[in-house]
Amino acid sequence: MIKIQDLALKNPWWSDNQHKIEEIAWVKRELYDEVISNLEHSLILNIIGLRRVGKSTILKQVIGLLLSQNKNPKNIFYFLFDYSSQIKKAEFLEEVLSVYFRDVLNNPNLSFGETVYVFLDEIQYIEDWQAVLKKFYDLSGKKIKFIVTGSQSVLLKGKYNESLAGRIFDFYLSPLSFREFLTINYEKVKIFQKFDLFALPKIFSELGIYEANFGMDIAKRSREYITVGQFPETRNISSIEKKHEYISESVIGKVLDDCVRIFKVEKTDELKLIAYQLINNAGSIFELKNIGREVGVSFLTLEKYIKYLKEAYLVEVIYKYHKSLIKRGRILKKIYTPCVNFVCALNHFNASHVDEVPQAFGKIIENSVYNILNQKYKGNKIVNTLSFWRQGKKEIDFLVNEKNRKLPIEVKFSNKVTLKDVVFLADYTKKYKLEFGIVVTKNEFNRQEINGKTIYYIPYYLILLMI
């Protein structure tokens, strides 16, 4: 039974007009401005993403903004569901909201004259939450502004067509971008503006000047970012060992626990073994049959587990380029992780290992480039924007296909890139009459004509600044 006292504990501004939201003074994620700009319309806002990336912080910052605008404090309601050790029935959410509207606002009929702001944190712990929100949203005449967060996309998006179609807008909060990491941790570092790789011929000279003046410093910061810097809270953790522990246990471990609980997985160790196997092989081509054989699970079980891990934002899949979307699902696939800190935490890599173990970091850097390209050139279910190309043993790491333009990209993380390393990229660019190709390097910045085609050499740390 939910009591008004339970709600008041989570909403101290109801009784204390001087209450300060601590998070309002923290550096804002870029998504904060997008959320703020969408507060005025009536749609439900849904912030999804990995655990510990800052979803709750954005909610608290928005609450702080509303309070600073002298909104009625009791018209601002926050509730966190993450404390629960089990999935709650929809009736639990309905009871929470009913107690708030009835006992706090004294308005059980939902006849509001002004907007009421309801923040529901980690709502994936509620079964069929969409139907509950739809009921209150419609009864209030769209006077309730719901802002919800969650860490399991399948439960946050799967039932929209049935209940919340036309009523909800999704935001994805990724792990910290390199740009955000620098802003939070190194305020005095000069950061190059965001850019589009298709515009590289126009900005190459300007990018070169930036590289000459700031490249060494940016490269140094990028090593920390790649190994432990993609979560806001790691800046407050002293040692590299404790940062790794935080990422392994508070992020990966908790996400896997959520998968077990939400998807009712019986063989917990089996799921975790597969998760670690996939994360550690990020950047590699994978076959379900081979992985299933290695870990001793059936094809169907493995397929099911990978779906869970994708929905939990632990892994992602990219396909070999093919014009047919139907055939795409049956051809070669590569596995990546949305956060390369996972690979580094599981293997205890620190910033110095980028130079000491380059063979391991080649795949990690490739994964980082994938994450940038995936966010920059977002596709959809119809258009296959990002893929890779492979024929026999020859491969191009990424093909960006956007608005009838194609861009081939190779990642070569070695101290020196030779002509032999890039001649196939140049040949591919020429064969398919593409404007230019890109080699992502460890530290080389250059432009070269090979077989009549321009190939740009761009250090990975500059690629990280694209978004």
Residues 282-336: tens digit of each pLDDT: 999 988 877 778 778 888 999 999 999 999 999 999 999 876 655 555 578 999 9
The DSSP code sequence of 229-242 is -SSGGGGG--SHHH
Beta strand pairing call for 436-441 and 405-412:
parallel
Instruction: Report the alpha-carbon distance of residue 220 to residue 443 in Å, rounded.
Output: 11
In this model, does residue 238 exceed pLDDT 50?
Answer: yes
CB 437 within 8 A of CB 345: no
Does the domain spanning 4-173 belong to CATH 3.40.50.970?
no
In this model, does residue 385 exceed pLDDT 50?
Answer: yes
Q: What is the pLDDT of residue 286?
A: 87
Q: What 3-state class would DSSP assign to 456?
A: strand
The residue-averaged pLDDT of 77-100 equals 90
Phi/psi for 60 (5° steps) reads -65, -35
pLDDT digits (tens, 9 = 90+) for 114-145: 999 999 999 989 989 999 999 999 999 999 99
DSSP secondary structure letter of residue 89? P
Q: What is the pLDDT of residue 133?
A: 96
Nearest residue to 144 (alpha-carbon basis) of 178, 179, 171, 120: 120
The residue-averaged pLDDT of 240-247 equals 98
Instruction: Report the alpha-carbon distance of residue 208 to residue 205 in Å, rounded.
Output: 5
Q: Which two tokens stand for residue 411?
A: 């990642």
Phi/psi for 109 (5° steps) reads -85, -5
Beta strand pairing call for 333-336 and 285-286:
antiparallel
The residue-averaged pLDDT of 164-192 equals 93
Instruction: Report the alpha-carbon distance of residue 369 to residue 126 in Å, rounded.
Output: 35
The CB density around residue 51, as the number of other CB atoms within 10 Å, is 20
Where do the CATH 3.40.50.300 domains begin and end in the chain?
4-173
Average pLDDT over the chain reads 92
Q: How confident is the model at residue 403 (pLDDT cuts 50, 70, 90)?
A: confident
In this model, does residue 86 exceed pLDDT 80?
Answer: no
pLDDT digits (tens, 9 = 90+) for 423-450: 999 999 999 999 999 999 999 999 999 9
Q: Which two tokens stand for residue 444?
A: 């080389």
